[in-house]
């Protein structure tokens, strides 16, 4: 289904350029409000944001747009994306809205939506909104305008929710943990969660100024976390991205574990406890070694399209609870309705505490295939898809790799990039194939 504005994770772009400009955002909120009014007389919408300086401007535009359509608004202030999803469900709101561009730099921003159940909305809902954008606005009469108020204890409610996902018979007492919030939405919340569960917490990326989000810190820049874990002699390091729905995890030796490995760890604990999982969902990017290891546990493993929304759709279709991406978007649907970096970190810590083993020891049977991912800047129509020369080169390398590797080329849903992934049994082969394909693109 073709959509003009919505990508794999809402609407995202450079601030001040369409569509991330106040006039469009006001119109977007107005149109979403009208869609809500089709099924509800007095809808209520929650709005949360990360720490980007542009969040104030976009928050005001959203508020005005919703109010003009007769929709009430509750402002949450800076709050992780999964926190907005949780409170939308807990407050019985009609919709949750997040102002964030996740792991992008501060000059980008975006808008994403959650249903009343705290889950991502369907492609069809997004298409309905886009159709409404082509229509003239219908301002409600003054007597029917929406009102706005603020939920002052939003952060505290979400902290308690995160803590409730950690088994009550366990504690983090005696553990030293470095927490990197990427100068983003969890800058106050993440340290509090681990501290209140007993850990000695050292912080990194917890001093936002509106323009330093994801700047050299966080899940997309784990080098800073690795260095601080070693410097402080910490047991673990936890890195989130700007809106805290993504996790990277570091052990006391400074080893970094990606989302594929963390998904395996979460799965192994559930299997050890005798839970009947049925299966696990990864993506087209999930490392083949993790797929093999999960199937060895007697579980099914299926691949969804890249994007946590597609992992969620597959989980719901199968009635399963665990899934995720190598980027660190992990889902445990018996804990939360959406991916949550903090809850995922607690699940991984819980796995290690129960087994009384470090992550590396728990993963000794999982030897990841070397995987190379190159991002190729690419603007304009996707002419590369129809390139006979590129398709011939892909076919040639696939024949050479056989069953000892994989090639995946796809357009990013959030940035003007083509992502080239090559997996092989040795790193040099993966590098050379990825470089050849990227050069041609």
φ and ψ at 116, to 5 degrees?
A: -65, -20
- Are the C-beta atoms of 222 and 240 separated by less than 8 Å? no
Residue 131 near residue 108, CB atoms below 8 Å: no
Whether the CB-CB separation of 216 and 205 falls below 8 Å is answered with no
Place of tokens 């912080």: 203
Per-residue burial over 111-125, b = 16 or more CB atoms within 10 Å of its CB, e = otherwise: bbbbbbebbbbeeeb
Catalytic residue among 64, 68, 102, 327: 102
Spatial neighbors of 152 by CB under 8 A, at least 6 apart, are: none
Tokens 């107005």 locate to: 30
CA 87 to chain centre: 17
Active site residue 102: yes
- Residues designated as active site: 102
């Amino acid at each position: 289904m073709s959509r003009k504005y919505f990508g794999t994770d809402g609407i995202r772009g450079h601030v001040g350029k369409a569509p991330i400009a106040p006039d469009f955002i006001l119109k977007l909120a107005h149109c979403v409000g009208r869609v809500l009014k089709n099924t509800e007389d007095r809808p209520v919408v929650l709005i949360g944001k990360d720490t980007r300086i542009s969040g104030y401007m976009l928050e005001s535009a959203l508020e005005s747009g919703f109010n003009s359509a007769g929709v009430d608004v509750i402002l949450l202030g800076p709050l992780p994306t999964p926190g907005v999803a949780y409170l939308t469900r807990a407050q019985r709101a009609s919709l949750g809205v997040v102002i964030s561009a996740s792991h992008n730099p501060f000059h980008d921003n975006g808008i994403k939506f959650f249903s009343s159940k705290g889950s991502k909305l369907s492609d069809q809902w997004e298409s309905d909104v886009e159709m409404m954008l082509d229509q003239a606005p219908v301002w409600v009469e003054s007597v029917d305008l929406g009102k706005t108020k603020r939920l002052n204890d939003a952060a505290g409610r979400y902290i308690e929710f995160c803590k409730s996902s950690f088994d009550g018979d366990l504690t983090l007492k005696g553990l030293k943990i470095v927490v990197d919030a990427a100068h983003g939405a969890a800058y106050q919340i993440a340290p509090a969660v681990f501290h209140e569960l007993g850990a000695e917490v050292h912080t990194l990326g917890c001093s936002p100024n509106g323009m330093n989000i994801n700047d050299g810190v966080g899940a997309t820049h784990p080098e800073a976390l690795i260095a601080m874990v070693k410097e402080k002699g910490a047991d673990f390091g936890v890195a989130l991205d700007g809106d805290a729905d993504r996790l990277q995890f570091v052990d006391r030796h400074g080893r970094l574990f990606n989302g594929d490995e963390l998904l395996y760890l979460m799965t192994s604990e559930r299997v050890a406890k005798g839970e009947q999982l049925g299966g696990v969902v990864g993506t087209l990017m999930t490392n083949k070694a993790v797929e093999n290891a999960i199937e060895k546990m007697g579980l099914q493993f299926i691949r969804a399209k890249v994007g946590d929304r597609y992992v969620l759709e597959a989980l719901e279709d199968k009635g399963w609870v665990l899934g995720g991406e190598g980027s660190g978007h992990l889902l445990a649907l018996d804990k939360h309705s959406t991916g949550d970096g903090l809850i995922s970190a607690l699940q991984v810590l819980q796995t290690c505490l129960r087994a009384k083993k470090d992550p590396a020891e728990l993963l000794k049977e999982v030897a990841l295939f070397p995987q190379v991912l190159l991002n190729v800047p690419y603007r304009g129509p996707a002419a590369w898809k129809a390139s006979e020369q590129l398709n011939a080169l892909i076919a040639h390398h696939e024949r050479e790799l056989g069953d000892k590797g994989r090639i995946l080329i796809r357009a990013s849903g959030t940035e003007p990039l083509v992502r080239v992934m090559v997996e092989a049994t040795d790193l040099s082969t993966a590098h050379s194939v990825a470089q050849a394909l990227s050069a041609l693109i």
